[in-house]
Amino acid sequence: MKAVKTLGQFIIEKQADFPYAKGELSRLLRDIGIAAKIVNREISKAGLIDIIGETGEINTHGEQQKKMDVYANEQFISALQSGGECCIVVSEENDEHVYIDSEISKNAKYIVAIDPLDGSSNIDVNVSVGTIFSIYRRKSDEGKATLDDVLQKGTEQVAAGYVIYGSSTMLVYTTGKGVNGFTLDPSIGEFCLSHPEISVPNQGNTYSINEGYYTHLPAGVKKYIKYCQVEDDGTSRPYTSRYTGSMIADIHRNLIKGGIFIYPATSQYANGKLRLVYECNPMAFIVEQAGGKASDGYRRILDIEVTELHQRSAIFIGSQKMIEKAEEMMAEFLPENAKWISGLNEKLNGVGQIN
């Protein structure tokens, strides 16, 4: 019989990868794992108790806030507060960054960005939802951390992960040394290592995009969708289309089986819908660590300058070859303001040069 390795054991083992680490990051990951178990417990009861439905409040982005969004937000913030390793939390559910003002968190080194519940509109209909988190080291050494500590590029992440509350509950994370996945064993209440060293296939046969927006999509995306649908034995096309409305569920599937997830700019959302800091960057870090690619159609997600907490970005993420193919088609229809895309001329290789 194979020995079970729990998330806690794994985190302690991996601490040796960071010779100067004092265990703060490990404790932070542990705190997130605890909150995830509490949120999981409530989500699994969502159909039974009167916790589903809307609060009647509208969040920062003008969306209806679901009760579970609020509950998950509170649970993660409170776990980070009692853990003492995090000084600021940036959350989809809070307009401003939230200071953790307790005595023990004052000099904490880490900043956590979270989407406490991703795909929350799926809660009422029993489709998988998730939590996304991203961890940064604060830039300043001491004193009260500021917004400047928070606005860091995706390349600065020290860890990122997600929890998927699905047919089973999993926690998947990276600290920049590969990606590992843990499945919650409800009988012992522990996340157990089930998917060591996840690697995303270079090429998949699934594409995930909301095709209902077809008329509003950029020309390059329309061309890519048509490419996915064409019959071609050599490249196993047509590809399969899968889109749940929970980014976590779609990216998790593509991470394991290969595939591409796209949430592009549309005429409704000029910069896409998804948020850079707590949706795109953590998922990009994880997918890159698994050998995949994440881009806004033109440039690497992790290199995008962060200027606002709730900044949005288009995203193309998943199997390397599929992202490259989509980027190739995006480059054929460059927006007028494309000059800012550094390194683009080199990448275009003579196709559609911009001056």
Q: Which residues contact ligand AHG (rule: CB under 6 A)?
A: 92, 115, 118-120, 210, 245-247, 273
Of 85, 118, 288, 296, which lies in the binding site for Mn ion, with binding defined by CB under 5 A? 118
Are residues 259 and 253 in contact, defined by beta-carbon separation less than 8 angstroms?
Answer: yes
The neighbouring-strand residues paired with 322 are: none
Are residues 173 and 180 in contact, defined by beta-carbon separation less than 8 angstroms?
Answer: yes
Segment contacting Mn ion by CB under 5 A, of 87-95, 135-143, 166-174, 323-331: 87-95
Of 92, 190, 250, 296, which lies in the binding site for Mn ion, with binding defined by CB under 5 A? 92
Q: H or E stretch including 161? A: strand 159-165
Of 32, 65, 91, 115, which lies in the binding site for Mn ion, with binding defined by CB under 5 A? 115
Q: Which two tokens stand for residue 204?
A: 């998949």
Measured from the CB atom, the residue of 31 and 115 that comes closer to ligand AHG is 115
Segment contacting Mn ion by CB under 5 A, of 76-84, 102-110, 111-119, 185-193: 111-119
Measured from the CB atom, the residue of 63 and 197 that comes closer to Mn ion is 63
Map residue 320 onto helix, strand or coil. helix
Question: Which partner, ligand AHG, Mn ion, none, binds residue 210 by CB below 5 to 8 Å per kind?
Answer: ligand AHG
Segment contacting Mn ion by CB under 5 A, of 51-59, 116-124, 135-143, 306-314: 116-124
CA distance 164 to 149: 28
Shortest spacing between CB 117 and Mn ion, in angstroms: 5
CA distance 100 to 66: 24
Is position 250 an interface residue for Mn ion (rule: CB under 5 A)? Answer: no
Residue facing Mn ion at closest CB distance: 118
CA distance 283 to 135: 12
Counts for the chain of helices (H) and strands (E), in that order: 9, 15
Task: For the beta carbon of residue 178, count every other beta carbon within 10 angstroms.
Answer: 14
Q: Please report, as ranges, the residues that interact with Mn ion according to CB under 5 A.
A: 92, 115, 117-118
